[in-house]
Structure 1
Amino acid sequence: MSGNTRPFTMVAPGLHSSRRYLSLDDSGRALFHYVLTGPHQTSCGCSQIKPGYAAADLGSWDAAKFVRYRAALLDAELIAFDADTDEIYIERWFKHHAKGSWKYAKSIKGQISKIESDPIREKAEEDFMATPMGEAAVEADGAERTSERPSPANAGSRLLNSRIMQGGR
């Protein structure tokens, strides 16, 4: 789950007064900023970060330090983590990232479906579906399926049966 194409990441100012965040030392806070806003993060709040990549990104860190502080983020309930896939999900991601169009919602739903880890994917999906944007994605999927079915209104439509609408055949 890497491949960030977002030009920026919003960080809620309330982060700096969060008890979970403040329970970390400086290195823990730096790592949280890295997983929250770094180059591997996606719009669904999940990223796949192998310790070696993180150590290289963080410069003076080695893989052992990354693993130690990743555990601190997990203990502080700031992330969910699956050791089998190295996927990290930011807890409460959709509390702060649940605004956008139905097209954006569908895109996020697609990103969530690509998460390898079953527990992480289920957590992200549950959090996403609890938002109005998640509901919009479901409604958009339903509307698309409905529009693809012939109905009395469109079954005999000359436009729908035109060469262009039939894919240029």
Structure 2
Amino acid sequence: MFKNKHIIIALLVAPILSIIAYFGTDLALSEKPHAAKEGQSYKLLSKSNCRYTSGICDMENGEFKIKFRSENLTNNKLELSLTSAFPLEGIKVALVDDPEQSAKPLDMQSNSKDGKNWSINLPAPASEESWLRVAAQADGVVYYGDTQTAFVKYETLLSDK
């Protein structure tokens, strides 16, 4: 079998062609990164730390990144602070108990002149299945997303009851 030169050439060429086809398909079909255009809206993706009770939740879309930090206050209140990589023109958040539910968004207040630090006091989420919805505006571009509120530390919330 290995004395046939056609089989030997096929065994050498086939892996090379498969690697070229793999990268060629990726290059032809993948979405090309592009700069955010003014007036458009883009979805924020929740990072994995939003699924754990760490008190921190990162959301991003390409270079645009925001980080939520939660602190539990007394009387079932939650202080939510946000740090952004870019200056924000405004940010709205809403807490809902069901992903299908709608709620009136609340404006976060800026804590700095550069527009990178924001905070708000909210009622504590009803459960770990509650959702946090976010809409942020920077340079005329709207970034939106949602995540479950599992990142909020519930130990102190339950001890207050």
Aligning the two structures, in what range does the TM-score lie when normalised by the shorter sequence? under 0.3
Q: Relative to total residues, which structure has the larger helix share, 1 or 2?
A: 1
TM-score, scaled relative to structure 2: 0.25
TM-score, scaled relative to structure 1: 0.24
Higher relative CO (CA 8 A, sep ≥ 6), structure 1 or 2? 2
